Amino acid sequence: MADDARASSADGYRRIRRIGAALLLALCALTWWQAPWTERLQAAWFDGYQMLAPRQVKTLPVTVVAIDQKSLQAIGQWPWPRTELARLVTILNQAEPAAIGLDILMPEADALSPGRLLARFGIKDAAILAALQGLPSNDAELARAIAAAPTVMAIAGALEATGMALRAPPIVVRGSSASGALPALVSYNAALTSLDLLDQQGRGWGLISVDPSHGVIRRIPLLASIGGTLVPALSIEMLRVAMRMPALQLTLAGAAVESIGVGDLRVPTEPDGAVRVYFSPHRPDRFVSAVDVLEGRFDASQLRRQLVLIGPTATGLNDNQATPLGERMAGSEIHAQLIENLIDGSLLRRPAWAPAAEALWLLFLGAVLLRLTQRLKPGSAAGLVIGAVLLSVVLAFALFRSEYLLLDAATPGLSVLLLFAVLGVLMLGASTRQRRALQAVVQLQREQSARIAGELEAAQRIQMGSLPRLELLQGDRRIELFATLTPAREVGGDLYDFFRLDADRLFLVIGDVAGKGLSASIFMAVSKALYKSAMLRAPGADIGLIMQVANEEVSRDNPEMLFVTLFAAILDLRSGEMHYCNAGHDNPYRLLATRPEPGRLENGDGPPLCSFGEFPYEGARCQLLPGEMLCLMTDGVTEAQNPAQELYGTARAEQLLRQLSAADAGVQELVTALQADALAFSAGAEPADDLTILALRWHGPPI
């Protein structure tokens, strides 16, 4: 009995290592795939870098002419007459700056212009009327000042139509996406600009809109799309005007932005055209008060060939934004800091390979921990873990300081701590089980039986818990989806999944592994993971090619010669166009209340996965109509058997679908009714197969 206990103990330790390895791989996958729960943790971690080591300013190429509290007290409340702004621009232009950026929007005519005053106050005196009517408008004077200076006008993005003309500088595009469409940039439906009389006099036009991430400005787009027009940020547009360059250069790498350039300056960006700003603390020497400029109390020579930003900073005039340093800064100072980053090359970088590197580092640390935990004493093992976490922090911070790289040490560090805690709990449990096993082998056998049942129950919970949550699509009025999976045994071989590829594309898959039970559930999990991995590695690839890649990967390690039927599709939530491919699965039904008979998708068919190693799957396309519903199911519905071994059949399923479609049933009502009917039909008989139903309805694009 002692030998049996020792053998059981060895099995227990091996099981702990397997559980630890599985947990490690899961944590690595979450780190690689950047799970949503890590986003805020990473943001806080990266903010900590900047708090510990804020940027040391090398040069101050930008001077902010601040419309501050001092200026308001001297000149009066905002907005000032445009003649004051005209005088301010004229004085600054006399100092020969490289460019003047107006971080101010003036969409309406000046209410203090002579003509507007006549209309407002109803002046009757003929002499006064003649004098005022002979004066130019304040806007005209400001327009002349803008035209005489190298001025860059501000543009703000708007979600609703403004009716305002949009001007943007020429942008030369190098490279292109596979579809020829614009990359996934920050986009707005319309532009809010200054009065056309003023806006048309500018030498350049730049975007000032920045959307904070969880209330903090961390990333700023250098390029955005406004109604399909490419618009640069105010910062890089000021550099273009200062360099007297005719156009900006945009370099694409496939569907991603690679860099934005002006003259000899090339600025690498993230795929959406944004950059990460490395902030320095607030510096008063960046600013000069507007009233000091107007009254000549400034050194004009310090502005020669300097970039000048005119912007409001007084309390109540500007929307101060939170920064990673914990300071709130005026928008004009944030633009100034971005320009400093662009000029001295101090932008922070989060490379595309960073998640993979962090996952591999976690894998290395976890593998060392798994190998040494059983051999080391608890205190030594804890020291090893703490040392590994500290090493991660030191290395990540060193790369931040030397290379401006943003690498996440928090997620791998916490993952190692979690793995160590789980291993410790499991090891303690194993020791306890060993002592009990030596006392009573029979009791151990009973516990093993109970543990097997518990593991099957846990496997069922894990399998059901791995299914996507329907809440993921709540709030999107374009789509309605509901699904259910009923395994024939504790665990089953059916699968379904859905997730967003981006804000406007939904991926979904439903499948059925040959057989049922534990072996089918394991093969189902592997197939689902491999297919999802293939989809996420190439989210823009043809669905037929994805199916071919998944077939090759699932077939590679399949000693039991299992096969799986799959139907996969990518639905464009904006247009209703769906790309799909069918690998031996039942074709989905198309249901529409105004159409009397259920239809079925056609084309895009091929054999089940693992039937042929290198089958050239081809996708197909269809166009969903607003309100149209798709119903996908596995053969566990149509092959359900009653105690008399009669099949539920396709005809009965179609009859029920016809009734539900005519009644314009919702997706949850349809799935629930079809499931209930199939289960009621097979009541009293052993389940023949797993039963899975998924229904979705595309409501059309939002109005």
Query: What are the domain boundaries of the chain?
Result: 2-52+351-439, 62-344, 467-698
How much is the CA Rg of the chain, to the nearest whole Å? 33
- Residue 183 tokens, joined: 């990359």
Average pLDDT of the residues in 430-451: 65
Average pLDDT of the residues in 44-72: 94
Average pLDDT of the residues in 263-283: 94
Give the pLDDT band (50/70/90) at residue 151. Answer: very high
Give the pLDDT band (50/70/90) at residue 199. Answer: very high
Average pLDDT of the residues in 622-637: 92
pLDDT at 73: 93
The answer to whether the Cα torsion of 622, 628, 632, 637 is positive or negative is: negative
Angle between helices 410-439 and 36-52 (to 10 degrees): 120
What does the DSSP assignment read for 96-107?
--SEEEE-----
**Whether residue 351 has a cis bond before it, omega within 30° of 0:** no
Measure the CA–CA gap between 67 and 106, rounded to whole angstroms: 15
pLDDT at 369: 86
pLDDT at 405: 95
pLDDT at 625: 93
Give the pLDDT band (50/70/90) at residue 5. Answer: very low
Tell me the residue ranges of DSSP E strands in 166-293: 171-174, 186-188, 190-192, 204-207, 219-221, 223-226, 229-232, 248-253, 256-262, 265-268, 274-276, 287-289
Q: What is the pLDDT of residues 241-255, one digit of tens each?
A: 999 999 999 999 888
Contact by Cβ (8 Å): 292, 84: no
- Phi, psi angle pair for 356, to nearest 5°: -65, -40
Measure the CA–CA gap between 357 and 400, rounded to whole angstroms: 15
Give the pLDDT band (50/70/90) at residue 319. Answer: confident
Residue 185 scores a pLDDT above 60: yes
- What is the percent of the chain with per-residue pLDDT over 90, rounded to a whole number? 51
Residue 1 scores a pLDDT above 50: no
pLDDT at 457: 67
pLDDT at 517: 63
CB atoms within 10 A of CB 385: 22
Span of 38-47, 286-295, 517-526, 683-692 with lowest mean pLDDT = 517-526
Give the pLDDT band (50/70/90) at residue 425. Answer: confident
Q: What is the pLDDT of residues 586-609, one digit of tens each?
A: 999 999 988 888 999 988 888 998
pLDDT at 201: 96
Which carries the bigger pLDDT value, residue 148 or residue 468? Answer: 148
Give the pLDDT band (50/70/90) at residue 2. Answer: very low
In DSSP terms, 482 is beta-bridged to 695
Please identify which residue in the block is written with the tokens 């109509």.
625
Task: Using alpha carbons, select from 20, 2, 4 the residue that is nearest to residue 374.
Answer: 20
Residue 378 scores a pLDDT above 60: yes
Which carries the bigger pLDDT value, residue 291 or residue 494? Answer: 291
pLDDT at 180: 60
pLDDT at 224: 94
Average pLDDT of the residues in 203-216: 91
User: What is the pairing mode between strands 577-583 and 564-572?
Assistant: antiparallel
Domain 467-698, CATH number (from 3.40.50.720, 3.30.300.30, 3.60.40.10, 3.50.50.60): 3.60.40.10
113 contacts: CB under 8 Å, gap ≥ 6: 82, 137, 138, 139
Residue 132 scores a pLDDT above 50: yes
Please identify which residue in the block is written with the tokens 């499931």.
675
